[in-house]
């Protein structure tokens, strides 16, 4: 039984298999592990947080995917998605850490004839996360139509979330999640 505003993920029949990975691609064998998971699940959309640009290009080439990269995170999609715009923004600067910059990556396009936005964000592990979370929430408020949000560094138990913006959790694992707005 589902409570108020809860969504049965089976009803998302027009959204295909997707996943998000938060990992360090610099460790030995990481890219191979990413490739094995992509080959076994055949996702239409996926995001990898903590990946280098060259590794993202190698995966996109190997699996014949479209891709976008920004600040250590990459979004990938298959042929069914037609991208129109790519927007990338820096999350707010953390005081006293000018080189610790994370980005918000957004790809707008069409999937199955309907508009769809793919968004990736990676949050800090310390208290500065709340500033980044507010920034992402402000950007999501203005988002028209359907969207898939891939996040890393965010726990579902946090007080500030995405449910009030119309996003519902599809999948999640340790520090990583996918949210959908239909």
Q: What is the pLDDT along the chain (182 residues), one digit of tens a residue?
A: 333 333 333 344 455 667 777 666 667 778 888 888 888 888 889 998 888 899 999 999 999 999 999 888 899 998 889 999 999 887 766 666 666 667 789 999 999 889 999 999 988 777 777 788 888 888 898 888 899 999 888 776 666 678 889 898 887 776 778 888 98
60 dihedral zone (left: phi>0; alpha: psi -120 to 50; beta): alpha
CATH of 9-181, one of 3.60.10.10, 3.40.190.10, 3.40.50.2300, 3.40.640.10: 3.60.10.10
| Residues 19, 43 contacting (CB under 8 angstroms) | yes
Q: What is the rounded CA–CA span in Å between residue 54 and residue 58?
A: 6
d(CA 69, CA 77): 12
């Amino acid at each position: 039984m589902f409570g108020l505003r809860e969504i049965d993920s089976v009803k998302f029949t027009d959204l295909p298999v997707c996943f998000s990975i938060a990992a360090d691609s610099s460790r030995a064998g990481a890219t191979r592990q990413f490739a094995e998971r992509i080959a076994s699940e055949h996702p239409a959309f996926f995001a990898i947080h903590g990946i280098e640009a060259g590794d993202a290009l190698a995966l996109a080439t190997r699996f014949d995917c479209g891709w976008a990269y920004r600040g250590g995170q990459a979004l990938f999609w298959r042929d069914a998605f037609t991208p129109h715009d790519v927007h990338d923004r820096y999350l707010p600067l953390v005081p006293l850490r000018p080189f610790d910059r994370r980005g918000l990556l957004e790809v707008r396009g069409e999937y199955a004839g309907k508009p769809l936005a793919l968004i990736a964000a990676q949050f800090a592990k310390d208290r500065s996360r709340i500033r980044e979370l507010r920034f992402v929430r402000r950007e999501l408020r203005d988002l028209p139509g359907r969207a898939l949000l891939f996040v890393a560094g965010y726990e579902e138990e946090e007080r500030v979330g995405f449910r009030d913006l119309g996003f519902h959790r599809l999948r999640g694992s340790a520090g990583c999640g996918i949210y959908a707005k239909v």
